[in-house]
Chain A
């Protein structure tokens, strides 16, 4: 019994951490650079499909049969999504801020359409099955299997976290913040704002693609229905709740919101008769939507919020209180 519980906990946490990766990607785009991506689901889908096509065994009905190792699929998924992000960014980043939002929304619509209609590549509405799962040899023992998967996810999230923290504190990351806060000033210092934004958008997109690929291999099956605007919405809720601009917040928000989501799904499903489950799902989205708007209104910084000072050159060695005053003075 307790073993069942443990393997469920591992499963839950693994799933939550795949969302954590998407959140980390969105945090690079939005939290650190202020680029608004409304098509998260589309970018995640690109990573998932590319990795699935690269790694699955031959299927006479669609492109594929490459049977490449899982790691190759993951890297391929990340690179492909990064490329898509770069192209969309190159098209819109120079224009008004919300054109990027509209264009990314369009990407999500088109990716969904391609996944649904381009059957020779994507398998159409039924999606792609038999995606190889890591540690498939241990599948007989659910506990070992789920713990091993959880281990992989923890390793990926930790590695990404360390790299992203490093990046955020690097000169590169500080330029991104400078551009977000005051583009004119950053440009006056000779920083090419468009180039930095584009890099951040492509890196964030690549991370989302990686997340999609990892998720696809963890579940073993993908279909267009997995990548609806709802997913975009969940990820945004996670990042906002956790605190945008904060990598720890991104991961915390993912686990927390995924937990609330799973729990509320169970509660709502219990309250409605079996014939009304579609209604119940709609009500769940209403609640999360209201919650997101409320957080935007009441606590836009999220639970953790952004660290004000990331450079050790600013107020180095000073206590938190002194930093605060230094911050206030410089503002």
Chain B
């Protein structure tokens, strides 16, 4: 077995994990499986792409690579703005669609179906604007550094791993140590009771969308840096995201991240064993196994 699969799996898994944290939060607090979450990953990447390109045109110096990385200040500024824009997009979709359905007391399944419609709309909109041609943040090739043990990694890969780790710890602390985190957990337990107890449910919902969209945006930018940006990138990640969210246990942030890494590693090793063309089936196999053996996931509580 090629040890390089370990590194590739961890990097891919950290992106899946970031997306899965968003899925698991929407699932446990808004109570539906959001099929549009993958599109936030793709939109986040495109937002950053457009802003970074615009900044690069304003001043070439902004695009000059920073240290060992493939990108310059332009992408860092673009990331901050893209996170904000992506949050705005999520709030817009909620205001136009999910919020209204909630107000109509629609069933879970109507919400799921609406998210399915929103996903196709958002994805096709990207395809309409940018065509399905892949885009790259940088055309420069990065040299992978040997890390020992036959494993190599580019500085970009190491950075995205580090960023993912920091973000997950931060979200976990936010949920477990702050007032808003307590409010979010309360709404996830019982929205009516939380509302009666003085928790501002609407604010919690806003935070969930902003948080999910921000993490998705970072995952999208990482994927764009390391692989490429395509309108389909969100759709391709959707099944791994769901597999990770369910494997980790719905509602568990550390669970989602850990499960994301597991899914990423399983994919990387499966690519070595059976070939890259079967990669997309790995998440499905994991999903089936979890549903068969432990439907509540690693950190989940027994069936609700």
The reply to whether B131 and A279 form a contact with Cβ atoms under 8 Å apart is: yes
> How many residues of chain B are within 8 Å of chain A by beta carbon?
43
List of A residues within 8 angstroms of B127 by Cβ: 278-279, 282
Asked if B242 and A102 make an inter-chain contact with CB atoms under 8 angstroms apart, the answer reads yes
Given A105-B35, A297-B97, A110 and B121 contact (CB-CB distance below 8 Å):
no
Which of these, A103, A113, A233, A297, contacts B116 with CB under 8 Å? A233
Residue of chain A at shortest CB distance from B288 = A91
Cα separation A278 to B110 with both chains bound (whole Å): 30
Residues of A within 8 A of B278 (CB): 113, 117
Q: A103-B287, A113-B278 are in contact. Are A293 and B112 (CB under 8 A)?
A: no
Q: Does A326 contact B (CB under 8 A)?
A: no
Known: A38-B35, A95-B291, A102-B246. A110 touches B117 (CB 8 A): no
Please measure, in the bound complex, the distance between the C-alpha atom of A106 and the C-alpha atom of B288, giving whole angstroms: 9
Assess whether B140 is interfacial by the CB under 8 Å rule: no
Q: Do residues A109 and B280 form an inter-chain contact, with CB atoms below 8 A?
A: yes
In Å, the complex CA distance between A279 and B128 comes to 5
The bracket for how many chain A residues form the interface is 35 or more
Residues of chain A lying within 8 A (CB to CB) of residue B35: 38, 101, 105
Shortest distance from the beta carbon of A144 to any chain B beta carbon, whole Å: 39
Return the contact of B291 from the options A98, A103, A240, A279 (Cβ within 8 A): A103
Cβ of A236 < 8 Å from any Cβ of B?
Answer: yes
Q: Which residues of B contact A101 (CB under 8 A)?
A: 33, 35, 109, 112
Evaluate contact between A293 and B32: CB separation under 8 angstroms: no
Indicate whether B101 reaches chain A with its CB closer than 8 angstroms.
yes
C-alpha gap A91/B242 in the complex (Å): 16
Q: Which residues of A contact B253 (CB under 8 A)?
A: none
Contact B124 A282 (CB under 8 A): yes
Chain A residues with CB below 8 A from B283, complex form: 106
Partner of B287, one of A106, A240, A285: A106
A102–B33 touching, CB < 8 Å: yes
User: For B239, what are the chain A residues with a Cβ–Cβ distance below 8 Å?
Assistant: 102, 105-106, 109
Give the contacts of A258-293 with B (CB-CB under 8 A).
278-279, 282-283, 285-286, 288-290, 292-293
> At the interface, yes or no: A129 with Cβ under 8 Å from chain B?
no
The interface residues of chain B lying within 8 Å CB-to-CB of A286 are 121, 124-125, 128
* Neighbouring B residues of A117 by C-beta, 8 Å: 277-278
Closest to A106 in B: B284
Question: Which residues of the other chain, A, contact B291 by a CB distance below 8 angstroms?
Answer: 91-92, 95, 99, 103
Give min CB distance, A119 to chain B, whole Å: 10
Query: Is the beta-carbon distance between A38 and B116 smaller than 8 angstroms?
Result: yes
Query: A95 contacts which of B131, B281, B284, B295 (Cβ < 8 Å)?
Result: B295
A283-B128, A297-B100 known; A98+B121 contact, CB < 8 A: no
Residues of A within 8 A of B175 (CB): none
Q: Tell me the smallest distance from the CB of B18 to a CB of chain A, in Å.
A: 19
Decide if A97 is an interface residue (CB 8 Å cutoff).
Answer: yes
The listed residue (A34, A116, A282, A293) touching B117 by CB distance below 8 A is A293
Which B residues between 1 and 41 are near A, CB-CB below 8 angstroms? Answer: 32-33, 35
Is A158 part of the binding interface, using a Cβ–Cβ cutoff of 8 Å?
no
Question: When A95-B303, A103-B287 are in contact, do A36 and B125 touch as well, CB less than 8 Å?
Answer: no
B132 touches A278 (CB 8 A): yes
CB distance from A227 to the nearest CB of B (A): 14
Instruction: From known contacts A102-B33, A106-B283, A106-B287, infer whether A285 and B120 are also in contact, taking CB-CB under 8 Å.
Output: yes
Judge whether A113 and B124 touch: CB under 8 Å: no
Partner of B120, one of A279, A289, A296: A289
Kindly state whether residue A300 has any CB partner on chain B within 8 Å.
Answer: yes
CA distance A296 to B32 in the complex (A): 16
Q: Which of A270-326 contact B (CB under 8 A)?
A: 278-279, 282-283, 285-286, 288-290, 292-293, 296-297, 300
Residues of B close to A97: CB separation below 8 A: 108-109
Q: A192-206, CB under 8 A of B: which get 1 and which 0?
A: 000000000000000
Asked if B280 and A296 make an inter-chain contact with CB atoms under 8 angstroms apart, the answer reads: no
A82-B121 Cα distance, complex, nearest whole Å? 31
Given A109-B239, A236-B116, A98:B124 Cβ within 8 A: no
Which residues of chain B from 57 to 109 have a CB within 8 Å of any chain A CB? 97, 100-101, 104, 106, 108-109
Cβ contact within 8 Å between A116 and B277? yes
| Interface: B304 (CB within 8 A) | yes
Q: Is A229 an interface residue (CB 8 A)?
A: yes
Contacts beyond the supplied A103-B288, A286-B125: 17 A-B pairs with Cβ under 8 Å: A34-B109, A98-B112, A101-B35, A105-B35, A107-B284, A113-B278, A230-B120, A233-B116, A236-B116, A279-B128, A279-B131, A288-B120, A293-B114, A296-B101, A296-B117, A297-B114, A300-B106
10 A-B pairs in the complex with CB atoms less than 8 angstroms apart: A36-B113, A38-B112, A97-B108, A102-B242, A102-B246, A103-B288, A109-B284, A230-B120, A282-B128, A289-B124
Chain B residues in the interface with A (C-beta under 8 A):
32-33, 35, 97, 100-101, 104, 106, 108-110, 112-114, 116-118, 120-121, 124-125, 127-128, 131-132, 235, 238-239, 242, 246, 277-278, 280-281, 283-284, 287-288, 291-292, 295, 303-304
